[in-house]
Structure formats: C-alpha cells, structure tokens
Structure 1
Amino acid sequence: MSETKPSVIFVCVHNAGRSQMAAGYMTHLSQGRVEVRSAGSMPADQINPAAVEAMLEEGIDIRKEQPKVLTPEAVQASDAVITMGCGDACPYYPGKRYEDWKLEDPAGQGVEAVRPIRDDIRGRVEALLADLLA
C-alpha cells in the first residue's frame, strides 16, 4: 500500500519573507513527510535578508531559495493552500484546504521586527503539520 504524502503551498505576494519562512519550517519540521512549495503573486528579486537571518538563528538555511511565481498548477498539486495576504491573486480550486494566515509583512524591516513574525509562523506551521500528518 503506497501512501502519498500530503502537500502544502505557502503563498504571499513577494514570496520573499513569510511564505519562505513557512516553507523553511515545514521542510525542516516535516523531515520529508510533507511536500512543500512556496510562491508569490508578484515575486521579488530575492529573499528578504532579514527573513534569511531570522531563520538562520533557528538553524534553518533558506539562502538557496528563490522567489517563484504562483502558478495554477502548483495550487492544484497541493492539498493545503496557505495564503498570507495575497488577497484575490490566489487561484481557488474546490476541494483544497485553504487557510489565510494574517501575518505582518516583514518587507523592509530589520531582523528584530521579523523575529516575532517568524515565531508566529513556526507555531502555525507546527499546528498545520500535526494536522496534515494526523
């Protein structure tokens, strides 16, 4: 009996901060048990350096990640779609689990301002992971 692993996509506007931190946590905490994607409706040129620094403090390196454009295919391939302030730009498909996480945008902020956002994301990812693997 083959079990397909659950998949999740984290979506924010620039795919440079919140969604990348969430994907970093999910990848790290799920240890390969969940397929993880992230994307943005208007991807930035690079990941937010403060987000990278905040995640490195947690022992998670997201420096190699690149902001990616959100595609309908990526959403269709995911069981759970977690949006973080991308509004109407996120395509909707029936039968998917959608959650909108209200999180402050770390864009343009220093690592001190990003840490509480990161910690909020970690708690939400831990709860989502427990649910996906239940």
Structure 2
Amino acid sequence: MMKKLLIFIALINISDISASKEIVFNEGDQWVLEARSNRLSSDSKVLYHMPSDAYHTYYAREFGDWDTFSIVDSRDIERLSKGDVIQIIKSEYNEKVYKVKLLSGFNKNRNFYVIAEDLLNYYKPSQEQINE
C-alpha cells in the first residue's frame, strides 16, 4: 500500500513539472528563426500563405498521411532565411497554427501562418522579449 502511495505522489510531481514547462505564445511576441535555413534551399523553413495549408501539413505530420492531407503548392509558401523575425498576431485551429507578420525579408509586413510545432522547434524569442 505504501509503495502505491509513493508512486502516486511521484506521478503527480512529475506531471506538475512538465506542466510548468509549457510555453505560451502571446500576441505581439517577436520570434527569430534560429534554425539553419536558406531561401534557395529545398530544406528551408517556411511560412504558409493560407491557414488551411499550415493545418493540413500539421495534420499530415501527426497521422503520416501525406497523400490526403498535405497538398501545398510551392507558390503558397514563403521560404525563410536564418535570422528572419516574425510577430505573432493570433492563434487558429486550437493553437496548432498561428497567424504571424513577417518583420524582415523580401515580403516583410505581410501576414503568413506558421505551425506551432515549428515555432517551438526552429524559433527563439527575440532578445527584446527576453530583456523585458
């Protein structure tokens, strides 16, 4: 009985620790692309012109069904270079996709969409956000 109680307490503590590490994306926050990326490369990081394209790509990654869910025309994506800055405008599709404004690059001050998972993996908060 005592072992079960200790295991239960340990599980509660672990879940509290993992919940505190959750990153919250706030409107107006600026994020900088830190991953290696080049506009001319086929492996570059992208933003999407349409929110449905971003969501379908997210859905295809989750379920591994690329033929059905992710048919995105290459003209409907914006390829990025390392160091490009985006500003979060609002969340869509249950916070799986975010509407962002590109603050640098060729199409700066235009709105695009980014997958939340990509935002976590490839972007870092800008230095201005960290200093505040």
Q: Which has a greater percent of strand?
A: 2
> After TM superposition, is the score higher than 0.5?
no
TM-score bucket (shorter structure): under 0.3
TM-score by length of 2: 0.21
TM-score by length of 1: 0.21
